[in-house]
Structure 1
Amino acid sequence: MPVLFSALLPPEDVVEAVAEALGEPGDGLRWEPPERWHITLAYYGHDDLGARGAWLADRLAGRAAVGVRLEKAATFPGVLWLTAVGGELTPLAHAAGADAEARPYAGHLTLARFPREEPERAERWTQRLSNFASRSWTATEVALVTSEREAGRPRYRTARTFGLDG
């Protein structure tokens, strides 16, 4: 069974704006490539694609499209990310299953990873991106994504999308 998660995929111009704000990444962080950037709604782990797709279709039926934007950087232990904000983002994530997780939902786009014991590696980037704000966009679909390891790195593939009412 594949590893599955649901996500919002940022539009290409937002991806380009984030890449431009980053400039030349460095500082010993393991940077996520732009083609893997996404805002996770819920993580399902190893799961049956068909069953999860049917479950998600039912949970997302009739849900409205959501306004989203990315802004200032922050960190979790070992993770540098941009904050994803939008008035209906958390309710959408809960509908997608984030409410089953023990920790509260925090919408974000992962930029890079670093050793947990070296949080200072990310300080330059949280400062550099402290005033970053992308344009707002309307997310009109949720992607059900598979994650497979290839050459030691995850490879994401959109297995199915679910339209949100515009």
Structure 2
Amino acid sequence: MQRGVHFMLDADQAAAFDAASGDDDRLVELVEALEETLEEALEQEATSFCESDKAWDPISCALAPSGPDRDPQDWPWTGVVLGQRSLQADDDELLVSLLDPASVAEVSEALDTLDEETFAEAYAQMPAELRNPEYSDDECAYAWEYLSDLIAFFGQARSAGAHVLFHVGH
């Protein structure tokens, strides 16, 4: 499984990703350009991105078990990883999702209601078919560690009025 990263985007960056929707090669180019800014952001201690490592999968499966089917009952939890919509074509190796600022605010408000115990309950109720081989209390703690960083990240994105892009793959 590959590592996930969330990025805060301004309106121009989000428009470029929107324009590349369905063009996986162009999406990969845009993501690579964003990733080139990560080192600079780290040096400046900027919070324009948040890594979710491989925890993105158990986070998504615990909070929004409908996954890519996007059951409306799972919103705004679906937005944490899967965004409002996926931008990639039918590529199983790439996931690029985008949230607009209004949806970022909805997701952030929902995340603000979570604590470790509430997440552990959602994780324990994850459907068996979504569980990784690593499914355990250790994976739950690992996922919570990254999710707690995402909660802060989404709060910052909400305050900034930013779009949020999630990427995993390639």
Instruction: Answer whether TM exceeds 0.5 for this pair.
Output: no
Higher helix content, 1 or 2: 2
- Which structure's CA Rg is the greater one? 1
Higher RCO (CA < 8 A, seq sep 6+): 2
Using the size of structure 1 for normalisation, the TM-score is 0.26
Higher strand content, 1 or 2: 1
Using the size of structure 2 for normalisation, the TM-score is 0.25
